[in-house]
Amino acid sequence: MRAMLLEAARSPLRSADVPMPAPAPDQVLVRVVACGVCRTDLHIMDGELSRPKLPLVLGHEIVGRVEGTGSAVRSLACGDRVGVPWLAWTCGQCRFCRGGRENLCPSARFTGYDIDGGYAEWMVADARYTLPLASALSDTDAAPLLCAGLIGYRCFRLAGDGERLGLYGFGAAAHVIAQVARYQGRRLFAFTRPGDQAAQRFARACGAEWAGDATERPPEPLDAAILFAPAGELVPTALRAVAPGGVVVCGGIHMSPIPSFSYELLWGERTIRSVANLTRADGDEFLRVAAAANVRTHVARYPFAEANRALDDLRQGRVTGAAVLELG
């Protein structure tokens, strides 16, 4: 089968013919139809996430069809449309797994990092961590829900139920969560790269009542802010923007160093917290909410063979919404 391989950090992907995988008893064989291009893929390529299996097939926003099942699989059948997310396997035995926090499992494995992902024609996935997908969205449009949507939704839940929500970095995750927030009656304030008028127009089209540069103060204090941009210098900025009792959620798997800041910014019972990975319960809940909110994604479509161009466009900020590889 065709695959785009990462063979070393800080190198481009290489198109290669590799053996087609076969499912283990608890796995399904998935024919990949579309795979989102995530900023986490860039962090892996750039060596900022330092433990990937190499050579590696990236990709963890996968939409495809089940074409084969292992002998122990009962939950899925051939022909089912499924999504394969970042979380690929957990031990089920540690205190985190037993307590409903499998996202923190120290033995967890991740799609497109510890195991091969969706930048390929076929892949295998643990059936227990594979999500059935309804037919409301096309394959390409559904792909960003599998990470941008899922991780964004976990950030959104942990930000609390305040009315005034700020989103720093208005890309794949933000444009999905903006729709959920507006569905719930929240007020949105969007922050973009300085001078990025296109992103600010996009944010307003997605329901933001105000959009400006990330360095600006919003017109009124926020109840919560989510940082989708992996820029540590925005943490003090967001703390200045939230009211007493406000929450700042860091949504990235990697972030540049956070500069020191005065205790005054944190005082007033403000909170900073990170979000790590996701759970299967997050996936089930988010897909129901996304359907109820009639979430629609804005995607830039790329042929499978142009994965390197898609990654470069994402790196340079040339993607509005989400980038998705199409395998057809």
- What residues contact residue 134 under an 8 Å CB cut-off, 6+ apart? 287, 291
Q: Which residues on neighbouring strands pair with residue 4, listed in sequence order?
A: 15
Assess whether 37 and 125 both reside in one domain: yes
Residues 147-169 have pLDDT tens digits of 999 999 999 999 999 999 999 99
C-alpha torsion angle, residues 7, 9, 11, 12 (rounded to 10): 70
In a domain, 291, yes or no: no
CA torsion 200→203→209→212, rounded to 10°? -30
Question: Residue 284 is inside which H or E element, if any?
Answer: helix 280-292
Q: Assess if residue 77 is contained within a domain.
A: yes
63 and 117 in a single domain? The answer is yes
Same domain, 143 and 61: yes
pLDDT tens digits for range 56-93: 999 999 999 999 999 999 999 999 999 999 999 999 99
Backbone phi and psi for residue 198, each to the nearest 5 degrees, phi listed first: -65, -45
Q: Are residues 47 and 111 in the same domain?
A: yes
Handedness of CA 44, 46, 49, 50 (dihedral sign): positive
What would the pLDDT profile of 232-275 be if each residue is shown by its tens digit? 999 999 999 999 999 999 999 999 999 999 999 999 999 999 99
Edge to edge, what strands does the sheet with 187-192 contain? Answer: 210-213, 187-192, 164-168, 222-227, 242-250, 271-274
Residues 58 and 168 in one domain: no
Closest to 76 (Cα-Cα) out of 30, 136, 21? 30
Number of domains in the chain: 2
Distance, in Å, from the CA atom of 289 to the CA atom of 47, rounded to the nearest integer, reads 35
Q: Quick check: 222 and 199 in contact, CB under 8 A?
A: no
Q: 158 and 210 share a domain?
A: yes
Q: Distance (Å, rounded) from C-alpha 261 to C-alpha 137?
A: 44
Taking the C-alpha atoms of residue 147 and residue 84, their distance in angstroms, rounded to an integer, is 9
Q: What is the CATH number of the domain that holds 17?
A: 3.90.180.10
Q: Quick check: is 185 in a domain? A: yes
Does residue 61 sit in the same domain as residue 168?
A: no
Does 309 map to a domain?
A: yes
Q: Residue 288: what pLDDT?
A: 94
Residue 131: inside a domain, yes or no?
yes
Residues 147 and 60: beta-carbon distance below 8 Å: yes
Full domain range(s) for residue 200: 150-274
**Distance between terminal CA atoms of the chain?**
14
In whole angstroms, what is the distance from residue 242 CA to residue 166 CA?
9
CA angle 114, 305, 146 (to 5 degrees): 45
**Rg (Cα) of the chain, in Å, rounded?**
19
pLDDT digits (tens, 9 = 90+) for 170-219: 999 999 999 999 999 999 999 999 999 999 999 999 999 999 999 999 99
CATH code at 249?
3.40.50.720
Q: Are residues 138 and 157 in the same domain?
A: no
Query: Are residues 66 and 169 both part of a single domain?
Result: no
CA 267 – CA 269 distance, rounded (Å): 6
3-state secondary structure of 186: coil
Please, which pLDDT band fits residue 134 given cuts at 50, 70 and 90? confident
Q: Coil, helix or strand for 166?
A: strand
18 and 85 in a common domain: yes
81-105 residues labelled b (16+ CB within 10 A) or e (exposed): bbbbbbbbbbeeebebbeeeebbeb
SS3 assignment, position 98: helix
Query: Quick one: 136 and 158 in the same domain?
Result: no
Give the C-alpha separation, 178 to 152, whole Å.
10
pLDDT for residue 69: 97
Domain match, 169 and 142 both = no
